[in-house]
Amino acid sequence: MTIMHSIQDHQVRVVLKGDLDLKTADPLREALDKLCERYRDRNIVLDLAEVDFIDSSGLGVILGRYRRLESQGRTISLAGVKASVRTVLELAGIDSIITIVEAGRGRFEAPASK
């Protein structure tokens, strides 16, 4: 799994690439916790545009971070969710808890040329 982040406005945008399962749950949890600590005044956006698979191990990491941020008055939202991933999110009821940004919204814009 590849995890990259950037800062946009007041948000930390985390781009994930790969499957979210038992193998990747621990490194993802560790990476997100570090970002939550480092950027204490920012919300998190998880970009899942390059995530083709998620199971309950991956969902657990996301929900755990949501609970942690919520207790601090912050939010985590999901962007670029593919249909196969959305099916799992909906079955778990995550879509009624965590905001899912529709495709094309909240995407990074190219930095202005100097």
Residues in contact with other proteins by the rule CB under 8 A: 19, 21-23, 25, 29, 53, 55-57, 59-61, 63-64, 83-84, 87-88, 91-92
Token couple for 27: 């490194």
What does the angle CA 13 – CA 17 – CA 21 come to, to the nearest 5 degrees? 110
Looking at beta carbons only, is 6 or 90 nearer to other proteins? 90
| Residue with tokens 């990491």, as numbered in its chain | 61
- The end-to-end CA distance of the chain, in Å, is 33
In the complex, the smallest distance separating the C-beta of residue 107 from other proteins, rounded to whole angstroms, is 24
In the complex, the smallest distance separating the C-beta of residue 3 from other proteins, rounded to whole angstroms, is 17
Looking at beta carbons only, is 13 or 80 nearer to other proteins? 80
d(CA 3, CA 42): 18
Token couple for 59: 């969902």
In the complex, the smallest distance separating the C-beta of residue 88 from other proteins, rounded to whole angstroms, is 6
Residue 43 phi, psi dihedral angles, 5° rounding: -85, 165
Looking at beta carbons only, is 1 or 8 nearer to other proteins? 1
In the complex, the smallest distance separating the C-beta of residue 66 from other proteins, rounded to whole angstroms, is 12
